[in-house]
Amino acid sequence: MIYKAYIKQNAEGCDYTIGCAQTVITIDATDIDDATEQLYDIIQENYTGERELESCEIYEINNVINYNLKDCYSRISNKEKNDKQKRIDELERIEFERLREKFK
């Protein structure tokens, strides 16, 4: 089973706007008890003293889906191109109408 632990340190970290003091840890465990024990070891090893945590939430992940980012960015790019072309077409139509009226 896959578990995710969202942890947040006491301080804001380097810059509160980018969340330096926050992270998500992936834990591959047999059950929640195993996950909490692994998380205990991670905290003991990495998050004591100045890096002490303020909060921690553990999420049990039942299904992981890899989102197709290549398709996503391709769709975004195509939409931007289409929107740009629509703006150009509209400006050209306006210019065409202006010239047609001028040379009637």
Instruction: Report the pLDDT value the prediction gives residue 104, as an integer from 0 to 100.
Output: 84
**Alpha-carbon separation of residue 2 from 15, 23, 34, 65 (angstroms):** 30, 16, 11, 12
The predicted-structure confidence for 2-26, as pLDDT tens digits, reads as follows: 999 999 987 665 655 666 788 999 9
Residues 25, 7 contacting (CB under 8 angstroms): yes
For residue 35, pLDDT over 70 is answered with: yes
Give pLDDT, residue 21.
81
Cα dihedral angle (9, 13, 15, 17), rounded to 10 degrees?
A: 0
37 vs 49: which has the higher pLDDT: 37
Beta strands in the chain (DSSP E): 2-9, 22-28, 53-61
Summarize pLDDT for 53-85 with one digit per residue, the tens: 999 999 999 988 999 999 999 999 999 999 999
Q: Which two structure tokens, joined as six digits, stand for 79?
A: 């939409």
